[in-house]
Structure 1
Amino acid sequence: MPDWLQLMIQSLPSLVIAGLRFTVPLTLLSFVLGLLLGLLTALARLFGPAPLSLLARFYVWVIRGTPLLVQLFVIFYGLPSAGILLDAFPAALIGFTLNIGAYSSEIVRAAISSVPRGQWEAAYSIGMSWSQALRRTILPQATRVAVPPLSNTFISLVKDTSLAAAITVPELFQTAQRIVAVTYEPLILYIEAALLYLVLSSILSSLQRQLEARFARYGGYLEART
């Protein structure tokens, strides 16, 4: 067996364990929390009072206008100078959540805006309140529009979690770096890490296609009802 293949086989368990312990949880938690933050931000921008809408705009402007790596450094390395100490994983979770929240808010805002005004009027005509119209009529239709770009954001987040290595989170990529420091085989280990990210992204892309097909059928059902 070639030495490079033997090295990849030996390092694979460590990389997979790091992915399962840190990369996957960091991705899932950041996306769920970021999506919730994005929904609230989008609603604030569309329907909130002027001060709240302005605050939401400012948040989106700052996060989208600065690099994610810089945001992580500010949270993990910068905040301690202000007396705020965070462990690596919570710092990464906060950074990714804020980043996903800003980008997903634009997706959600555009999806809600794409629903025809007549849908609001139809909901009001049958006695729904604003919150009921939003929950029962607008958001289900907006979800169909938002699923493809949000799925792409989720897949990108899987790869972006490698940036957490820069703030010492022992996820998949930093584990590869640690093995490189011992074996002095960066090409082999980094290719192996890239292949693992590729496999994970491919699985998620397949799930994305199935999810989009399901929402397309659901969208057809909604259109048939209206």
Structure 2
Amino acid sequence: MSVELLKTSLSILLQGLVTTLLLSVAAIVGSTLIGLFAAVLRSFGPWGTGRVARLYTELFRGTPVLITLMFIYFGVSYFGYAIDVFAAGVIGLSVYQGAYIAEIFRSGIESVPKGQWEVSQILGLTRPQAFSFVVLPQTGKIVLPPLVGQYLSLIKDTSIVSMIGMSELMHGGQAIVDRIGKPVEIYGLVALIYFAVCFPLSQWVRHHDRRRLS
């Protein structure tokens, strides 16, 4: 790959990287909120809401993320409404990844000893207060490593959003290949950029696990 081609390609890919990072951050926030809400419903909600939350997690964990993105982007248009491709990407990834994050949170909540609830009641805390101030902080420590691992999966899933036309990192690489060819070099460069984003997070997870187990 020539220096000029490298400069041109990097400029386009870095623009796509900015979009990828914005999409990732927005979807991480959205999926975390959805996942936590679904986990609370599964663990504490009335019978009906718990069943709905379980159906949600099972449905989206059993279908490809591309189907979710297509359904949201084209399904909204089918009903006569327009949706921005970025918004469709954020909603699609949030809803899809939220199903996996819900299971992570649910496992963490159930890992907190039952005695914590009893102590909270003795101290006069209501059930919502006990969850917010006693159980949830402990849950956060338990679920942090698998949660970050799921965030890594989400970041890589942003590449699929190019299928609905978003000009993110993968879409930028595809545009360069369509114009000048050299798929091995260009996709290799895209892979290196994804690696540069994800590797520090994966190393942090390993380091955190070693410290927790030591």
TM-score by length of 1: 0.88
Contact kept in structure 2, 1:8 and 1:192, CA below 8 Å = no
**Larger mean Cα displacement after TM superposition, 87-96 or 200-209:** 200-209
Distance in structure 2 (CA, Å) of the matches to 1:6 and 1:191:
17
- Is 1:80 the counterpart of 2:77? The answer is yes
What corresponds to 2:146 in structure 1?
149
The correspondence of residues 26-175 of structure 1 with structure 2, limited to 5 A, is 26-175=23-172
1:18 aligns with 2:16: yes
Offset of 1:59 from its aligned partner?
1.2
Matched, 1:176 2:173: yes
- Between the aligned partners of 1:60 and 1:205, the Cα distance in structure 2 is 25
**Counterpart Cα distance in 2 of 1:40 and 1:110:** 14
The ranges of structure 1 where at least 4 consecutive aligned residues each deviate by more than 4 angstroms after the TM superposition are 209-214
Amino acid at match of 2:84: D
> After superposition, what is the alpha-carbon deviation per residue over 1:46-84, rounded to whole angstroms, capped at 9, x for unaligned?
111112111111111211111001111111123322223
d(CA) in 2 for partners of 1:93, 1:118? 39
Task: Kindly provide the amino acid, as one letter, of the partner of residue 185 in structure 1.
Answer: K
Query: Once the two structures are superposed, what CA deviation does each residue of 1:156-199 show, in whole Å capped at 9, x if it has no partner?
Result: 11111000100001000101111111111111111100000011
Partner of 1:7: 5
Taking the aligned partners of 2:171 and 2:91, their CA distance within structure 1 comes to 19
Q: CA-atom RMSD, angstroms?
A: 1.9
Give SS of 1:30's match: helix
Q: Partner letter of residue 202 of structure 1?
A: F
CA distance in 2, matches of 1:180, 1:154: 28
Size of the alignment, in residue pairs?
A: 214
The one-letter amino acid of 2:27's match is S
